[in-house]
Amino acid sequence: MMPAPDHWLVVPIVLPMLAAALLLLVERIRPAWQAPVSLAATVALAALAFRLVALADTDRIGVYLLGNWQAPFGIVLVLDRLAALMLSLTAVIALASLAAALRLAGRGPHFHAFFQLQLAGLNGAFLTGDVFNLFVFFEVLLIASYALLLHHAAGRTLRVGLHYVVINLIGASLFLIAASLLYGVAGTLNFADLAIKLPALPDWDAGLARAAALLLLVVFGIKAALLPLGFWLPATYGATSGPVAALFAIMTKVGIYAIVRVSFTVFGGSDSWLAGWGQPALFALGLLTIAFGAMGALATKRLIALVSYLVLISSGTLIAASTLGQAALGGALYYLVHTTLAVASLFLIAHAIADQRGPRTDRFGSGPQLVQPTLLGLLFLIGAIAAAGLPPLSGFVGKVLMLQGSGQAPFAAWFWAGVLGSGLLATFALARAGGSVFWKTQGEAVGLPMPIGDRTALAVLAIAGLFWIAGAGSAARYTSATAQQLAQPRVYANAVLGYAPVPPEAASAP
């Protein structure tokens, strides 16, 4: 008796797409229903994501064959521990961002539809099992992100948006070159099939495959804002609205996800000449990104740009840690969830502060008295502790796990210096920012109190963060099991390629 295919795997992509289509209709007929419909779809998505985590936690790799075609020939969705983790993180960030965005959505057309399409693209990128569909879902999430970035935008934002679009289009072209090069040498684009076929390539083709691998790293480096490719990030994140910046906290993690997926699942076979390919370069660039982010955080004169530089630091840390072996990778995945939540909350808090400072906005220096100095001050303190990775929050646990895990690696000392040094510098920068924003005040309060949507969003993020620290034991067990699963690309490949389609008689039965 064949087990029935698990249709839940495709729902994280289909549900937001249907919701987006429905929302376009609702926008026309009943504009007031947009927010409830969008919220309902996102809540359902979150519930589904948590169910999928429970499914992945059984160590079974879920496979879904679209159109019932056998794996290397058709399109395949794969749910392993890493994909499930990223799906639920996306859903949590989306819930918070949507709660905060409800008051902004009416300022321009189609906000909710774009938001749901963004979620469809993100979920698809995490679930897909082949290189070309990774490209397609990247484009889906990018085109939605262009629209969200430029939603009710004008002036400088437009120009920054153009930069973001152009650099991502160049990234897309390079992605296509890399993908077709891989197809040209291996004759397949399926992750699992590539993992089997690449190690067996003759020398000449192996050189081309190496070039493709490095091109892929360049493309994902653009997404993850790795050092020479990440200069677009502070300007872009600084130019958009708070809720969208909070949602974009997950966008650099897509790049990191793709780097991890490709380095381990595709190129990671232990007997393969590709194993460890590009890892030293990634390690060095990760450390340089940390240094650049820390210097930028110290140098900047705006609060929101400071948070953007913290994103760069966390990107560099995660990429460097992912190259330092299985234990460090497990720690990095734990830290990834924490840092995404922390940065998303800090973006919301920074925008709330900017909203209460009148024309001074988020620039440092004396500005008007804040309307809610105590509330915002406390929130900023908690957010800063989280982002700098200080105890007692989960960032500290994540850093300890990464540092412990990196113990045996040859260049671990550099990593320790990078992580601890950037934590110190980030603490300085945040303390200076807090002092400047909260204590150097002159004049009467001019702004409005923090909207209820932003408070709800921060509550969602805080609950997720509390769960991540209170359940740190089981969370760390999950991420370390994820790293272990990633270190066994053969298991992944066998699960995908060995998954039999539904036989025709069963498929045609009513």
Partner 1 sequence: MTEWFYASAIGVFTACGVWLVMRARTFDVVLGLAIFSYAVNMFIFVMGRLSYGAPAILSPGAPATLAHYADPLPQALVLTAIVISFAMTALVLALALKGRFVNGGDACDAEDETIVEELPR
User: Contact residues for partner 1 (CB under 8 A)?
Assistant: 132, 136, 139, 143, 146, 150, 154-156, 158-163, 165-166, 169-170, 172-173, 176-177, 179-181, 183-184, 235
Shortest distance, CB of residue 181 to partner 1, whole angstroms? 7
Nearest distance from C-beta of residue 123 to partner 1, angstroms = 19
Comparison of 150 and 312: residue with beta carbon closer to partner 1: 150
> Length of the chain, please?
510
Q: Residue 208 Cβ, how far from partner 1 at the closest point, in Å?
A: 10
Nearer to partner 1, 166 or 459 (CB): 166
Q: How far is the CB of 162 from partner 1 (least distance, A)?
A: 5
At closest approach, how far in Å is the CB of 142 from partner 1? 9
Q: How far is the CB of 328 from partner 1 (least distance, A)?
A: 36
- For partner 1, give the closer residue by CB, 168 or 485: 168
Q: How far is the CB of 316 from partner 1 (least distance, A)?
A: 23
Taking the CA atoms of 482, 486, 490 and 495 in sequence, report the sign of the dihedral they define: positive
Half-sphere exposure of 433 (CA within 13 A, CB side): 30
| DSSP symbols for 239-269 | HS-HHHHHHHTTHHHHHHHHHHIIIIIIT--
Closer residue to partner 1, CB minimum distance, 11 or 142: 142
Q: How far is the CB of 186 from partner 1 (least distance, A)?
A: 11
3-state secondary structure string across 175-241: HHHHHHHHHHHHCCCEHHHHHHHHHHCCHHHHHHHHHHHHHHHHHHHHHHCCHHHCCHHHHHHHHCC
- Tokens 């091109």 -> residue: 215
Give the Cα separation of 128 and 64 in Å (integer): 10
Q: Which amino acid is at 86?
A: M
Give the C-alpha separation, 435 to 365, whole Å.
Answer: 9
Q: To the nearest whole angstrom, how small is the minimum distance from the Cβ of residue 23 to partner 1?
A: 20
Cis peptide bond prior to 109, omega within 30° of 0: no
Please give the Cα distance from 317 to 332 (Å, whole number): 8
191, amino acid identity: F
Q: CB of residue 71 vs partner 1: minimum separation in angstroms? A: 15
Residue (160 or 426) nearer to partner 1, CB: 160
CB burial string 440-469: b at 16+ within 10 A, e below:
ebeeebebeebbebbbbbbebbbebbeebb
What is the dihedral angle through the alpha carbons of 130, 339, 461, 455, rounded to the nearest 10 degrees? -120
Indicate the residue among 109 and 184 with the shorter CB distance to partner 1: 184
State how far the Cα of 67 lies from the Cα of 319, in Å rounded to an integer: 36
- H-type helices in 58-155, by residue range? 81-101, 111-127, 131-149
Degrees, nearest 5: CA angle 287-292-293? 95
CB of 185 to partner 1, least distance (A): 9
**Measured torsion, CA atoms of residues 242, 246, 248, 253, in degrees rounded to the nearest 10:** 160
CB of 156 to partner 1, least distance (A): 8
Comparing CB distances to partner 1, the nearer of 169 and 417 is: 169
% helix / strand / coil in the chain, to the nearest 5?
75, 5, 20
Looking only at the bridges linking them, the beta strands covering 76-79 and 62-65 are: antiparallel
CB atoms within 10 A of CB 107: 10
Quickly count: other Cβ atoms within 10 Å of residue 206's Cβ.
17
